[in-house]
Structure 1
Amino acid sequence: MTSPHPPGATPPPGCPAHAHGGADGQPATHPLGRPDPYAPLKLYGPEFAADPNRYYEYLRQYGALAPVEIAPDVTAMLVIDYRAALDLLNDTSTWSKDSREWQKTVPPDSQVVPMLGYRPNALFNDGETHRRYRQVISESFELVEPHILREKVRHAADTLIQAFGASGEVDLIGEYARLLPLMIFNDIFGMPDSYNERLIAAIGGLMEAASPEAAATADAAFTSYIMELIAAKTAQRGPDLTSWFMDHPNGLSVEEVSMQVVLTMAAGNEPLANLIGNALSRMLSDDRYYSTLAGGALTARDAINEVLWNDPPMANYSAHYPRRDVFFHGTWVRQGQLVLVSYAAANGQFGETTLDQTRTGGGSHLAWASGPHACPVQRHALVIATTAIERLTAWLSDIELAVTPDQLVWRPGTFHRALASLPARFTPITPDQAGATPWDSSPSSSTRPEPISTERQPASAN
């Protein structure tokens, strides 16, 4: 076995090689709970969240793949090389997305099972089954017209800004970035605004559950929401994604429809919320943006592009399993072994990508993954994130961080790159002040929203 600490390497914090001795000269407690100097590097916990790039740089000494631990007693190989990542993501003959055999090797209550456990949806299937599910998602999203989606985002943004506008301060993660995507999903999947709070509470509970009991409660709430959504659309179709999933020519069963809805809502929310939050953080922390929030040379799209390259909202994912033992970019990987792709490490292989490079098309980032399992709704995600940021900075043009950038805390976790909070302050706004405000720009609750087009259009999804 190759040592996880190549000669001459300086291990990052939390690395097993740091457990040489305590202040009293006695052996220090191993950070993973066992004194094994050859244990894979732990990619979870506050140390990794605070400085993941240091971990990635250390792991590069292995080559294209490196051994890591993603949860207690759950190991994986992490692809950290850009070329190797592309090769894996586009080679469906060697690599499978089906996690069922691997899942038998990990504790059923492991914290990574919700992210990696098999479900009958587009994420965990290969070949014709994957194509059938993915086509339903991509072709249905093609019916959501961009200009109408922008209006829905503006309405959701204004609603959220109204809630904190008079206070002059806000946590842009907890009160804006995490909430807005769920409000949009609730709308475009066909539920009235009165269900917003239920969906927000359920997804929030799943993401932030502090105990198995809390996770079970949140899961039950989310399941109840999905069941009511499916029942409502079974009884009466509408111009919404759920109805289009149900009526798609691929003929999904009720269970299959519900699984694609769960995938799109749950898997779509975290990356989108993180994209909005990370881009806002960059804009409020970087002087190139700070003086031009309300319409200078640097734009929300610039910030989003920088984040997709340098702080991708999902840092490590794209779980794959080799169909046979394979010698891949210098490393033997056994059949069925979990292999993850580090979008963050692959993007950053040659250092931080500059704004000029993102504008001139200097290569392609991997934040959306690549190949047949690349994100099928990239365009819609960009519309939501860009519009959400533009709306916020238009109403709150003097918004600024309430702490210094080095005081921001990142949420621990192997998969995501996400801030725990983003405290900001601004000049308060009120409904009765002179000039336009969010209170007089949003449609009233009695105004029927403009319907989404129901004409089915051809899609280019694979």
Structure 2
Amino acid sequence: MTMSPSSAHSRSGRASHGSPIDTDGPRIPLYTTEFAADPHGAYREMRRRYGSLVPVELAPGVSATLVIGYYAAVRIFNDPDHFPADPRTWQQDVPTDCPILPMMQWRPNARRSDGAAHARYRQANVAGLNGVDHYSLHETVARVAMPLINSFSADGSADLIRQYAFPLSFEVLNAILGCPAELAQRAATGMAAIFEGVDADRGNAMLMESLTELIELKRAEPGDDVATRLLRHPVELSETELVHQLATLYGAGIEPQQNLIVNTLLLILSDERFGGSVLGGSLSTRDALDEVLFNDPPVSNLCIRFPKQPILIDDVWLPAHQPVVISMAACSTDPAISTEQYLGNRAHLSFGGGPHMCPANSLSYLIAQDAIDQLLDALPEIRLAVPTSELTWRPGPFHRALTALPVVFPESTVPLV
């Protein structure tokens, strides 16, 4: 990857009038198990050393600037003319076997487009998502949750990721999109590989093939679902464009949704402020969700932008066409804005901001809240099976994801209905 000459550094190590990418010191890797184990400690050290813009590596040899300042992030979100989302110039110099290229490369979708193309894709996506009936979605979550809880309630223990949050997120998204289970399984497997950056190229191919089959199915058998609404939208998306809109929805609807549910359950089960209060009724699940979206959002670093030309932010020159990654986790806990008062506070950046803000945030809240409430109503004495210090987090530059969430509870042989 082409880099501009190294800039001068101040004694503090922070680049002065030069990009953090040009640092002559080591870049901070975001893909290690050490970073996954204590990202907030890493963010504090980043802030002390570099300020709001930090030189990082997203994968070995893949440099980027991480934005950890709230106001810098808001400026970038709301200035798509200078900070477009289109990565095509950058990716020309990226090896095809780069493990995170499938996550970052250009696709004909709203996330990776700007201007008229972005508006066209977003219009279709918003219309497709707005057609989801919220009352029916409550029923769908309950219908999916009950048999899942019944499948382990008599055991007295469970892994809430493998046995609850993943299958629930998976099945609910399939219902929203109108995707049969076999096609959906292949799509989910492909998307997981892309998020992990492990065999991501094969995962990308699997995702595209399965969603192409879904489009063919919806042409033959339309339904009351997002896929059909995308297919029929007046902007007349091509088959390739349709597949990539659906891929975006799978990217947002399984892995991040699962992690939002799990991270919130961890908070409720490990923090007395929330555990006793949520189960006792003085604090709502929505309050717990908001604290997680501030502190441990399921997608912690993303919303990638590629400046059109060198641009100065916070006394730092960002180079043209190099990735600028917004740390939603670090920005939302920036001391410049953080009050640690989360009740009723929706000022986090976990759904992005500006014209690219996630259009499915209300659906995500609803699904997560219902999933958590169903579980806690059914198993009110549920608790963690191990100390929080024994829980492990999956490495990766983009997500905040546990490897497992083991719990125990009194055995129950009375099935939910």
Q: Structure 1 length normalisation: TM-score?
A: 0.82
> How do residues 131-280 of structure 1 correspond to structure 2 at under 5 angstroms?
131-192=119-180, 197-204=185-192, 206-207=194-195, 210=198, 212=199, 215=200, 218-280=203-265
Aligned residue number for residue 29 of structure 2: 42
In structure 2, relative to structure 1, the CA distance for the partners of 1:178 and 1:6 (3 Å cut) is farther
Shift of 1:260: 0.3
- One-letter amino acid of the counterpart of residue 334, structure 2: Q
Aligned residue number for residue 423 of structure 1: 406
- 1:414 corresponds to 2:414: no
Choose the corresponding residue for 2:343, options 339, 359, 378.
359
- 1:298 corresponds to 2:275: no
Aligned residue number for residue 65 of structure 2: 77
> How do residues 42-61 of structure 1 correspond to structure 2 at under 5 angstroms?
42-60=29-47, 61=49
Choose the corresponding residue for 2:352, options 360, 369, 372.
369
Kept in 1: contact 2:187–2:211 (CA 8 A) = no
Kept in 2: contact 1:4–1:40 (CA 8 A) = no
In structure 2, relative to structure 1, the CA distance for the partners of 1:338 and 1:382 (3 Å cut) is same
- One-letter amino acid of the counterpart of residue 51, structure 1: D
In structure 2, relative to structure 1, the CA distance for the partners of 1:318 and 1:126 (3 Å cut) is same
> How do residues 6-155 of structure 1 correspond to structure 2 at under 5 angstroms?
7=12, 38-60=25-47, 61-155=49-143
Structure 1: how far apart are the matches of 2:33 and 2:56?
A: 16
Shift of 1:94: 0.8
Aligned residue number for residue 405 of structure 1: 388
Aligned residue number for residue 334 of structure 1: 319
In structure 2, relative to structure 1, the CA distance for the partners of 1:95 and 1:198 (3 Å cut) is closer
User: What count of residue pairs does the alignment treat as equivalent?
Assistant: 403
In structure 2, relative to structure 1, the CA distance for the partners of 1:37 and 1:407 (3 Å cut) is farther
Deviates more, 1:233-242 or 1:191-200: 191-200
Structure 1: how far apart are the matches of 2:344 and 2:283?
A: 14
Shift of 1:148: 0.6
In structure 2, relative to structure 1, the CA distance for the partners of 1:370 and 1:208 (3 Å cut) is closer
Aligned residue number for residue 295 of structure 2: 310
In structure 2, relative to structure 1, the CA distance for the partners of 1:300 and 1:352 (3 Å cut) is farther
SS in 2 for 1:376: coil
Identity over aligned residues, as a percent?
Answer: 38
- One-letter amino acid of the counterpart of residue 73, structure 2: A
Shift of 1:367: 0.7
Measured on the aligned residues, the alpha-carbon RMSD in Å equals 2.4
In structure 2, relative to structure 1, the CA distance for the partners of 1:2 and 1:157 (3 Å cut) is farther
Shift of 1:204: 4.2
Structure 2: how far apart are the matches of 1:4 and 1:419?
A: 37
Structure 1: how far apart are the matches of 2:344 and 2:203?
A: 44
Shift of 1:268: 3.0
Larger Rg, first or second structure (1 or 2): 1
- 1:347 corresponds to 2:320: no
Structure 1: how far apart are the matches of 2:365 and 2:102?
A: 26
Shift of 1:157: 1.2
Deviations 1:356-384 (A, max 9, x none): x22243x7111111000011111011000
Aligned residue number for residue 17 of structure 1: none
Deviates more, 1:368-377 or 1:162-171: 162-171
Structure 2: how far apart are the matches of 1:138 and 1:293?
A: 32
Kept in 2: contact 1:65–1:77 (CA 8 A) = yes
In structure 2, relative to structure 1, the CA distance for the partners of 1:109 and 1:421 (3 Å cut) is same
- 1:379 corresponds to 2:367: no
Kept in 2: contact 1:173–1:277 (CA 8 A) = yes
In structure 2, relative to structure 1, the CA distance for the partners of 1:199 and 1:70 (3 Å cut) is closer
- One-letter amino acid of the counterpart of residue 348, structure 2: H
Deviations 1:164-197 (A, max 9, x none): 2221111112222222111111111113456665
Higher fraction of helix: 2
SS in 1 for 2:254: helix
Shift of 1:298: 2.0
Structure 2: how far apart are the matches of 1:133 and 1:54?
A: 38
Kept in 2: contact 1:77–1:338 (CA 8 A) = yes
Q: Structure 2 length normalisation: TM-score?
A: 0.90
Structure 2: how far apart are the matches of 1:66 and 1:126?
A: 25
Kept in 2: contact 1:98–1:118 (CA 8 A) = yes
Deviations 1:171-229 (A, max 9, x none): 1122222221111111111134566655554544554575x3xx555445433431321
Deviations 1:306-344 (A, max 9, x none): 001111111111111111111122111121111111111
Aligned residue number for residue 17 of structure 2: none
In structure 1, runs of 5+ residues without a counterpart are 10-35, 442-462
Shift of 1:265: 0.9
In structure 2, relative to structure 1, the CA distance for the partners of 1:263 and 1:200 (3 Å cut) is closer
- One-letter amino acid of the counterpart of residue 35, structure 2: F
